[in-house]
Copies of this chain bind each other. A is one copy, B any other.
């Protein structure tokens, strides 16, 4: 199994391409054959296969060949791993904002009041 950091490297790198995101987007609705995945994309079949390899390498998609047809489906765990990383960053950021808000809403210290009433 990949280390957490290596897994995130591969997932984020795989998602850094609009064609691969379009393939992921398509597969979250339902499984698809490689031809179905390729249809809306302005590229050759070898290019589609290369993108598919990157997605499979990142654990975002898995595919299975039955006869001459390769069918792909999403692997939701990899998507969740990336989302969880981003969510953890947002939580840290929001906690920091809340703390800042609390500090700013606290009444001024006696010294500061004294200063102000002079």
Interface residues of A (CB under 8 A from B): 5, 8-10, 12-13, 15-18, 21, 24-25, 28-30, 74, 76, 79-80, 82-83, 85-87, 89-90, 92-93, 96
Contact of A15 among B12, B29, B83 (CB under 8 A): B12
Task: Decide: A90 and B79 in contact? CB cutoff 8 A.
Answer: yes
Q: How far is the CA of A79 from the CA of B69 in the complex (A)?
A: 38
Q: What chain B residues lie within 8 Å of A5 (beta carbons)? A: 18, 21
- Copy number in the complex reads 2
Q: Which residues of the partner chain B approach A10 to less than 8 Å between Cβ atoms?
A: 16
B93 touching A74, Cβ below 8 Å: yes
Neighbouring B residues of A28 by C-beta, 8 Å:
89-90, 92-93, 96
